[in-house]
Structure 1
Amino acid sequence: MYMKKILLLLFSVLLLLSCKDEESKGRIYFAEEEIDLISLSKYQLKVINETPGFETLKYTFKSSDTKIVEVNEDGMITGRAVGTATVTATAEELGLSATCRINVKSYKITLSQETITLKPNETYELSVTISPEPETMPEIKWQTDDKDVAIVDNGKIIAINSGETTITASIIGDSTRCKVIVKHNELTLNLEIPGTLKDYLNQDISKLTITGNINAMDINTMKEATKLINIDMSKAHIISYQDTYDNYIADVLPKNAFNNSQITICKLPTNLKIIDEKAFYQCRKLISITIPETVEKISESAFVSCTSLKSIHLPNSLESIENAAFLLSGIESIVIPPKIKKIPNNSFNGSKLSSITLPENLEYIGILAFASSNIKEITLPSKLDSLGWSCFSACTSLTSIHSLNPNPPSVDKDRETFWNTEFCKLYIPKGSYDKYNTTPGWMEFQNIIEE
């Protein structure tokens, strides 16, 4: 009997010690036992460690079905397909493990309309349905195939110009589309009596094709038509006109002709000679301008802040560009015609210009002409003999200049002409190194290379 008590006591002690060993071994577990995950989305799993004496553990993660859920070495899971899988975290050094059930789901997105037809400048708000209804609304990404036709902002469509485009709304795992057709209210008119356009052009017209003789009064009528954004005057002729204050000359697009208007596309008359001051000043929506091969002069500030105008063709007839003609414009690439001998002050200052071709006969580049533009490389022609101060200042993208004149063009000795001469490479004609390397304004270049 006594022996039985001894054995029972010994067994109890061993059992107690075993329980304490198990308790001291501790445990690990996931912060969440079950997670709902949207297909193609990611989620960071968190493992809780309750193991005395082992504050930091290294875990190995494994998915029961990698076609449904993938998990990386850090416990980041990615939903790959609809279904359920189990992710296991193992602390191999202690032989501990934990599991988490992952349910991968997919939402379906639909739009309130499959096709809509709008007029330029009209708007339409698309509504979105997501099923099954999520507890938290997922991020919706919006995209348009053609920004020149229509743009979209968080479901709000803004019609720009005639044409067709597709609006796409996407969430993780699904997307849907809406076809957008933009049509103008068009007016085609042969104006028989100059100055009478106001009698025909109502405020709902968004596209005008006009022929015949027109004058400054008609152009002002176009400007004041708030919905008119597409104008074709290519077969019209601007004739002279005089009012109480001004004398408007034939074949000249008047001062302030369309300044601050909503115009997006414009074809100018084929006999035009001059685009006068501020003709398209701050026409921020202008995306296309057709300049005829008869234009000889683009006047001061003609295209200032035309931020949507990415490209422009200048005719070979062009003889003069005046100050700030393309200041702060969106033009990215341009070829300067052969008759131009002077790039005046502020011509492309602050523009998006990244590529330019200069004519062989160019003699002068004006003050701040290309300052703060995006020019990456430029070739200065052999007849160029003078540069205005700061004409290339703040051109942070400019990495190479090719100067074809064996004699360094003159620069303002007291003001900075170039930017980043430490890294920008200067290429010069063979045999002209000593001249460039000893001329103020050019000698600052640390990389002068003969070619």
Structure 2
Amino acid sequence: MKYIATAAFVFSVFYAAAQPVNIKKAVDIAERHMHSVTGGRFKDTGAQRSESRFSPVFVSTAGDDTLFYVFNDTVNNCFVMVAADLRSRPILGYSFNGLFDASVEVPAFSNWMEERKREIAGIKKGKVRPEKDSGQLWDNLSSSLSEGSGTMAGVEPLLKTTWNQGCYYNMMCPADPAGPCGHTVTGCVATAMAQIMKYWNFPPVGTGSNSYDDETYGTQHADFGATIYRWNEMPAKLTGQNDAVATLMYHCGVSVNMSYGPSGSAASVSPIPMRNFFGYSPNARYVSRSDFSDTDWSDLMISELDLLRPVLYRGSSTTAGHAFILDGYQEPDYFHINWGWGGWDDAYYFLGSIEFNSGQGAIINLTPTDLPEAFDGFFLSKNRYSLFATPDSDSLTIFSSVPWTAAADQPWITVAPGSGGPGKRTVMITAGENNSGMPRSGTITISSPGYGDQIVRVDQTAKTALTAGELKNIMGTALTTTTTLCLTGTIDARDFKTMRDEMPQLLNVDLRDVNIVTYSGTEGTASDGRATYPANTIPQRAFYYKDILASVNLPVSVTAVGDLAFYGCYGLKAIYLPSSVVMVGNYAFWGCQTMKILDIPASVTFIGHQAFSYCWALNSIFARSVNPPDLSSSSFVFYEVNKETCKLYVPSGSQSHYATADQWKDFLNVLEIPTLEGSPAEVGIGYTTGSTASIQIASNTTWNAFSDQPWLMVTPGSGNGNTTLLLTASGNPFKTVRTATITLTAEGVNPKTIGVTQLPNPLEAGFSASSVNNCPGSYVAFADLSPGKPLSWQWSFEGGSPSSSSVQNPVILYDQQGIFDVTLTVSDGTTSSTLTLNDYVNTRFQKISLEAVIFLEGALIDPSSSATYVQPMRTTLNGLGMLPGQTCDEGNIGYAPPGQPYKAEPWLYMGAEGNAFDPGTSMADGAVYSPTVVDWVLVSLRSGNPEDYAEQCRKAALLHKDGRIETIAGYDCCVPDLNASYFLMVEHRNHLPVMSHEPLLLVNGVLNYDFTAQQSYITEGSGMAGQKEANGIFFMFGGNGNQSTTEYSDTDINADDQSTWEKQNGQTGYRTGDYNMNGDTNSNDQIIWERNNGQTTSVPR
């Protein structure tokens, strides 16, 4: 005791020593401070600096003691408040944009000044311990007049409004001739609420209504749910009547049961009205400064402001309470305050030490539950996470009006999704298992255009391997700073005592990987000396009155929770007892006032006296046993739990058991334990806009469903019972798959997730041309070959006419010589693709003429054959005598060749010659081909070897009865060299192509060849890969339409060839086996078949 008394005496003497600051010193400090926080923006008089530069406009005194000064600087339009004692921090407050006017009394600001006066007066009298760094702060400002960067860490003031309580703002408040403009004042609480709501421009419409009786002015009523809040009509400052602002002010007042008056209106500061009537987050809560150290309180306020969330703040004097707003800060300790008094004295201030906090508190997490789609801004729900060492995750909500990306700086942190668009998005932050043995930290940078980067910090605990009783030694100096603890190994009651009594910042405890072992001794958690603590039991008083504790994961092997184990743990939000627990002791969770969810496994058979008494916030209890635990020997187990509103969930079919069981029967809202399943676990969905997929929900309760990606919509987003969810996707603009997660939630059920994979978008511009080598004056038909599902086409044709087109398959005239580019851009409404083929169309070719003759099924190979052939060739395509382009509507026949067969290579040939040749009217109107025309054929010139040729020209032509091939469109063909030689090839839709046996020389620009009298090649493969040289005079065989890539891959002529013909041409073809196309099948077709394949067969059918 002698030592303590001596120490107290030394403290008093030392700190009672006066260390005054005169006005000259204070002026110097004021100017130096403004230089440090404004950089080059601050104007001074250089070498001519003097006391007159900063004019003292207010001096606070107490008796003969000067406490602090207020100086105005009219040049820079600012003021600074400087302490008058070196033992106080030098700068109490400062403003960048306004002078101090002592004649304007701002009540909340006056209260703040009174607290600073009491604080400094206490320091001067030796009754208050000064800040330990105050001397260093004075030294720093006195040492030099260096300019700061002007970019001190912090947040610029968030609010644009400077609203007041009087005229115009109060026009909807109760009438009172003694008040400004004939009405009571709005009240500081309502003004602060209204300015924060204007900052968010939320809600568009309120919820519900409120009425109450004001002692002076009678009934006050506001119908929030019937009111549209017209945010766009609310200016930053009022200069005249404004009903939109006045309505908002009055509604804020009614929501808090404002006690109105002509000079002051009073109400309590609470988050409840903001949550219930205006749709703000249910996580919004009031925190008291007295529960925090100075540093922790400052950090908490900074954390809120870093998230761009204004803080509704409360302070009080000996006579009244005050509400105002913290809306910015400059490190280390200065917060920008909007006093709600028309902008007067809004500036940066020190909040004061904990000894003089005057009932300070704040509402944190004050954000809208859902922001409107048109919301303009970027906000995060949280910017710091503390995760366990075992794989752990938590969610981050992003409100954004712009696209954003998120990237972690550590490989053990994953962020999903890593990007998103405008709207409200949920991001999962996951930390992998930490086996490093050390705590670790990382950051996530969230970038958005126009709003800069925001940093989210992720701290992960290490797994602390423990031998029972060693926690205190292992933690060492970290005992007082650790907030999250993850243990492995063995622990006993001594370690629980360490967590309870010697870890003041401990919020989260993970004990899933520990085993609790027996301990007997005096160093455990009991309050009365020596005790024995059984294994696998949470010890008695384990966390007794550990009111800061927020979450605990219990060991999976624990069988009992001891008496008073979590007694008075006010901060504990939920408790999930492992399925191994059999007993819950007396008063085990007494007074866990914020605990909302209690899960009691089926293994529990005993619950002690008042185990869950005074758990006022409980809204859901899950009792998993079909037979309720017997509470007949335990009193008041759920005392003060609201039995009318709290839902008791029990197994299916057991409601009747609980309805008659002691104490359980007091619950009026008994429901089956909810179930929720979604299937399948993985879903695929198409890449096009509007693609859909479905999910089956099996549930017995109300559920919600949401997607974590903006491109995937879920309908319905909520429901009850079994339902089919429809997933609808917007188009995938990427050539890679993208994924989303559908999360299903319901009260009392672990969230279920379903993975969704969207196919990649195959859209890619592609095209071909009927001919890329042409003479000037040629028409070229272009074919869109783009995979995917394009909805629009934009072509560009260098040297073509027209030079652009938006049709899918245009025909373009090239009437000048040159080598030209072609570009195609396709779009499916979601994405687009562009292809440019340089030097694609070549019109530097010369016109030539063809004089060629060929028969369809013409001259014989074996004149001695008994088969009878029509010579020189058939004059119609079948026995029906139909001409090209005609059709047959008789159902019993139903086959006909088209007039222009070429739709590919050779079937889909896109030449326009048919249109050019046609007289311009349809067959039904009498348009006919020349009576000598048999059908269309395709002719081409090839250069090089027969096995490896290069096509030089391709033209559609008409075949006449006499075997003459007639090309059209003005000339026959174009070639690059009139002195070269070329193979001539002829193709028909259902005959094997043939080609001249030798390359042919042009004679005066004419190429002449008679297939009926000269040797030729016949191709049996795709292109010329399987060509065979004929043994003499040959003709075009009707034949093997489905021949593949090699000579003998398919040697049959049968019904397969028939189906190939039909598929390529889109119409029914000839009868099966009618290889000579005369309308019937007989031995003549057999001979054709045998000669084409070199094999014997029966008569075709």
TM tier, smaller: 0.3 to 0.5
Q: Which structure is higher in RCO with an 8 Å CA cutoff and minimum separation 6?
A: 1
TM-score calculated relative to the size of structure 1: 0.48
Larger radius of gyration: 2
Which has more helix, going by share of residues? 2
TM-score calculated relative to the size of structure 2: 0.21
